[in-house]
Structure 1
Amino acid sequence: MSDHITLVGNIVGDPEARTTRGGDSIAAFRLAVSERRFDRERNQWVDGHTSYYAVSVFGELGKNALASVRKGERVVVTGRLRLREWENETKRGVSADVTAEAIGHDLRWGVTRFQRTPRGDTARAEVTDQAAASAEQWASPAASDESATPGAVNTEEVSDPVLPETADATPF
């Protein structure tokens, strides 16, 4: 089965670089998608079930993902879902695999800066180094320092629109 799906969740571990038998590069990571809702009776956020997805990212998108996203970051992934049945000596199960067609940071919880990837391997190495240096700041917006990264945003000046019934609660 292969269906189109959009997921919003947190990256469980740093993306890994892998290679196909044909020599093509792949980025692979796991994505945790949790159900969260506001319980008006208890006046608090409650956790629901968490689903885990194995995400594979091919080609240039995969190379850019390796340079851009890290463990703990909240991302939006769009791609093709494939449910795969598996079995080993002790148990059986179903795995949800996603082949990503697009990835981006969830801007509800932080800021990011787009940088077009120059063509050529030498330019890519430079962009990768720059992205790796600023990736930690994206994951922790409160620790950002405007002088450390060009284009950084002081998060204290950014106001977050909040619904009236959730003014004192945050889902994460």
Structure 2
Amino acid sequence: MAQQQATLTISGYVGSDPVNFSRNENAPACSLRIGSTSSYYHNEEKAWKERPTTWMTVKAYKSLASNVLKSVHKGDAIVVCGNLNTESWHKDGEDRSRVVLEATSIGHDLNRGISEFTKTSYARNRNVANAESKNKDYSENGDSQNQNFAMKNPMSSKSNSSNSQENEEINDFGGQLDEEQYNDIEGGANDF
């Protein structure tokens, strides 16, 4: 049976700077509050009216949390996509709960301002480390043909290893690029 998730996209303004609530520096986690105010046109008064602001807690984890803590600040206009979850706890003899949006993506709302993007390099380093690991495996097995293939195609899933997690990490970007194609992507981004 398929599991249902309530996916939501919300845009609004950040109510306060994101708060790091992680107790482990290797597993970043943060939360923030987003306020979203919609408006409507009142025909009789011939004017735009605002509805009450809806406030929602947003939580982010892992690399998203790390990037949010460095990029998002109080007052920023943002767009958040994620899954609705209910958090429950017991305090002062009462059961309590709240709805939280667990973000899968967060970005600045470019309808309301401009932003600058800085690419992080952690994913590329991970794949380089995996390719080097595969090269080591091939050389230990004396398989020079596969070793040369791995050096030329570090993102390929061809492997003597049966470790599916390692194969998943190598296929994160959905295919292989040779060096010339990669340089075209990197160098051509500003050519539009």
TM over 0.5: yes
- Higher-helix-fraction structure: 2
| Cα distance in 2 for residues equivalent to 1:60 and 1:102 | 11
Tell me what 1:78 maps to. Answer: 81
Q: CA RMSD in A?
A: 2.6
Higher-Rg member (1/2): 2
Tell me what 1:33 maps to. Answer: 36
Change beyond 3 A, Cα 1:113–1:21: closer
Task: Determine which of 50, 53, 58 is the counterpart of 1:50.
Answer: 53
SS in 1 for 2:51: strand
Moved more, 90-99 or 2-11: 90-99
Tell me, yes or no, if the aligned pair for 1:2 and 1:83 is still in contact at 8 Å. no
Amino acid across the alignment from 2:108: H
Identical counterparts, % of pairs: 25
2:72 is the alignment partner of 1:62: no
Task: Determine which of 89, 97, 113 is the counterpart of 2:100.
Answer: 97
Moved more, 59-68 or 21-30: 21-30
Amino acid across the alignment from 1:42: E
Tell me, yes or no, if the aligned pair for 1:52 and 1:96 is still in contact at 8 Å. no
Change beyond 3 A, Cα 1:92–1:49: farther
Gaps (5+ residues) in structure 1? 121-172
- Higher-strand-fraction structure: 1
Gaps (5+ residues) in structure 2? 124-192
| Cα distance in 1 for residues equivalent to 2:38 and 2:58 | 19
TM-score by length of 2: 0.54
| Cα distance in 2 for residues equivalent to 1:91 and 1:10 | 32
**Aligned positions, number:** 120
By relative contact order (CA 8 Å, sep 6+), the higher-ranking structure is 1
